[in-house]
Structures are given as C-alpha cells and as structure tokens.
A and B are shown apart, each in its own frame.
Chain A
Amino acid sequence: MKRILFVILMLATFSLVAKEDWKAHFKKGDPMVKSINALSFGPEGILFIGDSENAKVFAIDTQDTEAIEGNNADISLEQFDVKVAELLGTTADQISIEDLVVNPISKNIYFAVQHTSNTPILMKIENGVFQFVSLKEVMFSEALLEASIEAEATDRRGRSMRKWAISDLNYSNGKVMVTGLSNKEFGSTFRSISFPFDEKQEMSSLEIYHAAHGQFETNSPVKAFTATTIAGIEYVIAAYTCTPLVIFPSSDLKPNEHVKGRTVAELGNWNTPLDMVVLQNEGSSYLLMANSNRALMKIALDNVKNFSGSLTEPVTQRGGTAGVEFIALPFVNVLQLDKVSDDTFVMLQRKSDGQMQLFTSGSRWL
C-alpha cells in the first residue's frame, strides 16, 4: 500500500513539474500587430501570428478554450470573400485571405484578411457566423525574428530594403517554426523558436538547399511546410516555390547550419504549393497539399518513409512528376487548408464559376 501511495505521489509530483505554464510570460495590452501573414494554433487556445511587417511572431491568448458541440460541422459558406468584404465595407477585389486555421479545441475557424489599406484583420467563424476578433486588449507574448540580423544601410529616402516575408508558420512540440522569403536574395531561411517565448529566446535558423537531380545545387525558398512524426522521428516536410517536396529531421534545426533537404518528390510543373496538413485514417497518415496549378494532392506518409533515396533522374514526361506517389483529389484551386479533426479537413476553394467557397470534407477522400 505504501508503495502504491509512493508511486501516486511521485506521479503527481512529476505531473506538477512537467506541466508547462504556456502563458507565464504573457502580458496584457495591444500587441500592435501590423500584418497577419500566417497563423497556427498551439496549446490551450494560443494562436500564433506571423507578422512580416513587425518581423515578429505573436502568441495570442484567444481564451477560446471550450469545446463547442457540433461547431462548424459540415460548414459550407459560398461567396466567402464577398461576404467578408461586405462586412468590412469594401469589395472582394480589395481583400485577400492570408491564412486560415481551426482551433483544435473549439473548432472555431480563424482567418486573416489583408486589405489594400494594409490593415491587418483577424476574424473567426463560430457555428457558421462571422465574427471580428479584436487584438486591442489581449494577453500575449512575442518573439522578434530579426534579432540576429545586423542593421543595414538605408537608401536616400531612409528606407531599408530588407524585408522578410513570412510564408508559413507551424507550432509543434514546444517550437514555433517559421519560414520566410527574402525580397533581396533568392533563398529562404527556416527558423525554429522555442515556446514559451522569453528573454533568453532560443532560436535556430538554417538555410536549405536542394540539388536538382543530384547535379545543380540551388538555394530555394520554402513556400509551405508541416511537421509530423514518421517512424518515431519528427520531420519537417517542406515544399519549395518551384515544386520539389523535401524532408529533413527536426533535429537538423541547429543554429547557423546549412541543411540540404532530401528531395522525395517533384510534383509537377509550374506549380506552387500553397498549404499542407497531415491527417489520419484507419491507422495511416496522409499529407494533403494544396497547389496553385494542380489538384489537391494526397500522399501516404508511409510512402515518404519508404522512399529512402533522393531524386536523381530528371522527370521526362511533360508535366510529369517523380518520387513518392500521390493521388490527385478532385479539388482544384484550393487556396487554404486546415485540419478539423484527425480525419476531417476544411478548405477554401475558388470554384470554376469564380466564387470562393469554404467547406469541410473528410475520411471518404483519405
């Protein structure tokens, strides 16, 4: 009995020590967000916002931490951009939907809107109804992305040319990973920031190269990525602006390292990846990837795991693809994509008639 009590006491102590206080460094106020380029949810309703204008990542406590029964199930919103524009008192050609994510707890759908006035706008959908999310009085913390970059000369108008545009952001296992494009050099830097953010912020950054068919090595910008576990090892799967899909272990994320991603697929011509998520169905995991010029792609992670090499032969067929196999799902022009549950996803699609629709789909396609 004493032994059982001891074990219970030890477990209780361990759980107290192990429980992370995710909001320990949060403060109340207006984070002064200047742009919302990428979103990702972390633990306990914390929403990460990638802000290129500020060169920061904000962690916002949405206080949206209660499950809502049946929330946004089978949602279908037609004329999505027109409806959002009407609420903002503008027209659809003056806005773009920058990113869209689902709160894993409440299933509220959060999305960022960019307007020609350069006003950052955060909105959410609860039970199919649009709501504005104010960032004026929130609990938040922040991490500066440009801390390691030394000041540069400005031009005659006092302008700095440097701008690091955040192209994607994901939270995974206590790390916020961010990738961005430089407006000056052709390349991308991948940053990993430990969370909770604090003054002794640990941040690693690396540059990723890929070798086209084993011969020509180029620096290349990452457009979209996701983190997932394959065979017990955490990997980052990243897609370049110019098609190839690469993979590298998260453990490669060390400061000032140059990492070559292993190219596992070349997914077709003149196509830019837009968004990707990992879903599960019947014990298998699948990567879904939205593209600018191709249908929504489904790739079994088992195939990625089993593809142990790197592409060495050029793709010879016009518009051809190579490497791990994928299945094209019957959804083209998918602009945004996120996971609702293990086997359900929500997507924002530009339909053939030009209208933009938000809707959920699920396991029948997995």
Chain B
Amino acid sequence: MAVRVFFIILIYSLSAQELGAQIFTLNTKDEQVKSITIPDSTVQSVRRKGSVVEIIGEIERNQKGVTFLPIVPFSPDESYEVWNSKSKLFEFTVKSNLSVPRLINVYPLSNEVPANFLKFYLEFSNSMGEVNPYEKISLYKGNQKLEHAILRLDPPLWNEDRTVLTVWLEPGRIKTDLGPNRMIGSILKPADSIEILIEPLRGMNALKMDSTYRKRIVILPRDEIKPSIQNWKLETPVVSSTEQLMINTLEVMDYGSTVSGIKILYGGKDFSGSTDFVNDTTVSFKPDAKWKSGSYILRVNTKVEDLAGNNFNRLFEEDLHGNNTIPEDDAVELEFRIE
C-alpha cells in the first residue's frame, strides 16, 4: 500500500483534512489535540514517527471509522504514523498557532529584597506544564551561578490553574546554624546585586516560552521584625459604590500569602469580593456588591508573611532563648468605616 502523507494546520476547534477519499479529523479541547478520527476500519495503532512502539490509548470503532484517543494529547510540531495490522497507512504532523506562554510578573515586583529573602512567585500568561520547573531557575552574582540557591521541590508548587509557580530559596542556607548556613553561608548578602534567570518553560499546550527572562534584585539588610497590622493604612471607597478598598501595607509583603489571606467582614459576616496585588505594598479589595454604610473589619490571616517569611505570630526563626511568648491567634483585625 502506498504511503499517504498528510500535513495539517491545526486551528482551535475540529479540523478535518482531506486527501482524495481519505478524511481524518483531529479533535481538540483546551488547546490540546485529544484524539484522531479516521474513516478506515483497518486502523490498528498510532506511533510517533520513526518509533516501533505503539502509543497506548483507547480505540473506539463505529460506523464512521476509528477514533484513537492517546493517554496524553498529541504534541504540536510532532509527527505521527497511523498503522493497520501490517503497514503504515499515513503520517500526520500537528502544526499549531497555539499561544506561546509568557512570563508576566515576578513577585515581589520590587527590585529590593532582604538578605533573608525566602520565596518569590512567577506568574505566567498560560497554564504551564513544565515537569521540572526549578531546574530552569537560577541566581547569578555577576557571571557566577549561585549553587544550592533554589530549592528543587517535587511536586512543584503551582497554584490551582498552574499559572503561578512558588519558588523557595534554599531554606537550609537561610536558617541560622543549620549545616548549609554554617558551611557556605547565606545565599544573599547585603548590598549584593543578583540576577534571577528563568529559562524558557513549557506550557501545558507543550509550547515553550520563546525567551529567557531576567530580573535584577538588590539585597537589603536582614528583616527580623514581624509585620504589624497597626502600620497598615486604608483608603476607603465611597458608600454605595463598588470601588476598590486600597490597603497599604507600607512593608513589602509576600504575594502568595497576602493575596489570599485578606478578608472583609460586615456585620460579622464575610463581605465577598476579590483581592489583587496592585504593587508590593498595596493590595486592593473589590467587593462583589455595593459598599453599605457602616463599620467593617479587615481580617488578615496571621500566616500572611513578609518577604523573609516572618508572619504576624512568628518570626521565620524564633530565638528560643529570647523568652518571647509566641501568639497563636488565627487572625489580626483592623476596623474601618464607610460613610
């Protein structure tokens, strides 16, 4: 049997290709090619081009032909072969105009961090699929790569829709007197200028970022003071509006814990809305309903951290010889009124 070769352009929805009497359809969902339907009942298997191994998946047969559903989606720019029991029937290549993932933000947005800086966040335009993302992230001082600087966690710490990745600096080098801290010292030293380098990561649609990202940070002295809500200032909105409440923390706060650790209470009940990290020291709260006149409470989870991992109850490192009582409150609160 002659080998028939198909080259296809994949757009977002169903795409049918025709060559002579032969039509096949690539079925896509969420920017992923989930299956192929071929009107040929003799189809037995699909392989990556050049491989002798049959791809595992389900084969559904009906009057329209055969639909093959691989366990994982077909990849953009990969070529595959369709086989019957004896020979190759045809090849197809998945070409795409899917969106290439981009790095949108690195939190903190600020370029200044304390010497005991604990973690940062990468926000992407797309849901990401990179299986070992921490291998693509490194710190440089001049031309020298800082070894043992990034903690390689498995599983990686993605948020729910895999658009935000949490990156920890190696805690063993931050914690006083732990082996790595004693032997090779802190990762960051005051007045250092450090470059965070992020090599292209792969999106869930299998495409990679098209460039390496760099962010320069300058290192400040260590932060060994717990955040205090008494230092926070509020810009209150107008009554009967849905304007944002602006919360100024004065101190640069940790993005992940802050954006989800803030609530507004009205009459003792949750006043629903969404929080946003406007900048490192400003968080906005946009209510779902109009503000009513009266007294509100800004409630902040005590696990909200600053850049050094100090939270409202505990310093990142509590000195047990200091005889300090460590509070165990769930939240700290600030009352405000809207008239």
Contacts and interface: CB of A to CB of B under 8 A. Distances in A.
Interface of A: 35, 37, 52-53, 86-90, 94-96, 98, 114-119, 121, 132, 152-163, 165-167, 181, 183-186, 211-220, 241-244, 266, 268-270, 272, 274, 292, 314-316, 318-321
B163 interface: yes
B170 interface: yes
Contacts of B321: 215
Given A155-B277, A161-B159, A320-B183, 13 more contacts: A53-B160, A86-B53, A88-B55, A89-B46, A89-B80, A118-B129, A153-B273, A166-B155, A167-B155, A183-B164, A186-B118, A186-B305, A216-B319
Interface of B: 32, 46-48, 51, 53, 55-57, 70-75, 80, 118-119, 127, 129-132, 147-148, 151-164, 166, 168, 170-173, 175-180, 182-184, 202-204, 206, 254, 256-257, 259-263, 273-277, 285-286, 303, 305, 309, 311, 314, 316-321
Contact of B157 (A160, A163, A266, A268): A163
Nearest to B57: A89
Contacts of A167: 153-155
Contacts of B151: 241, 272
Contacts of A118: 127, 129, 162, 204
A280 B247 CA distance: 58
Nearest to A318: B183
A114 B53 CA distance: 20
Contacts of A212: 175-178
Nearest to A185: B303
Given A155-B259, A184-B256, A216-B176, A211 B320 contact: yes
A154 to B, nearest CB: 5
Contact of B303 (A53, A89, A184, A243): A184
B183 A319 contact: yes
Q: Is the interface of A mostly helix, strand, loop or mixed?
A: loop
A94 B206 contact: yes
A165 B157 contact: yes
Contact of B202 (A116, A156, A320): A116
A213 B179 CA distance: 10
Given A216-B320, A218-B318, A269-B180, A117 B56 contact: no
Contact of A154 (B71, B177, B274): B274
Q: Which of B119, B177, B204 has the most CB of A within 10 A?
A: B177
Contacts of B73: 117, 119
Contact of A159 (B152, B163, B203, B309): B163
B303 A215 contact: no
Contacts of B158: 163, 165, 183
A201 to B, nearest CB: 23
B202 A183 contact: no
A95 B72 CA distance: 11
A121 B71 contact: yes
A84 to B, nearest CB: 10
B70 A183 contact: no
21 contacts: A95-B131, A115-B72, A116-B130, A121-B71, A132-B71, A154-B260, A160-B159, A161-B260, A181-B157, A183-B166, A185-B303, A186-B171, A186-B316, A216-B176, A216-B319, A241-B172, A266-B178, A269-B183, A270-B180, A315-B182, A320-B179
B179 A243 contact: yes
Given A87-B56, A88-B56, A163-B157, A184 B166 contact: yes
A87 to B, nearest CB: 5
Contact of A115 (B74, B131, B173, B305): B131
Q: Which of A156, A183, A270 has the most CB of B within 10 A?
A: A183
A163 B158 CA distance: 7
B274 A155 contact: yes
A35 B129 CA distance: 12
Nearest to A55: B160
Contacts of A181: 153, 157
Nearest to B167: A183
Given A87-B56, A218-B175, A185 B305 contact: yes
A354 B179 CA distance: 29
Contacts of B204: 116-118
A29 B175 CA distance: 48
Nearest to B318: A217
Nearest to B119: A186
Nearest to A163: B159
Contact of A216 (B159, B168, B318): B318
A116 B75 CA distance: 10
Q: Which of A89, A118, A121 has the most CB of B within 10 A?
A: A89
Given A163-B157, A272-B151, A155 B275 contact: yes
A227 to B, nearest CB: 21
A169 B55 CA distance: 30
A266 B203 CA distance: 38
Contact of B175 (A132, A153, A216): A216
Q: Which 7 A-B pairs have the closest CB atoms?
A: A116-B129, A89-B55, A242-B172, A183-B157, A161-B260, A96-B131, A270-B148
Given A37-B155, A117-B32, A119-B72, A219 B314 contact: yes
A138 B305 CA distance: 43
A219 B311 CA distance: 11
Contact of B171 (A152, A215, A217, A242): A242
A159 B123 CA distance: 12
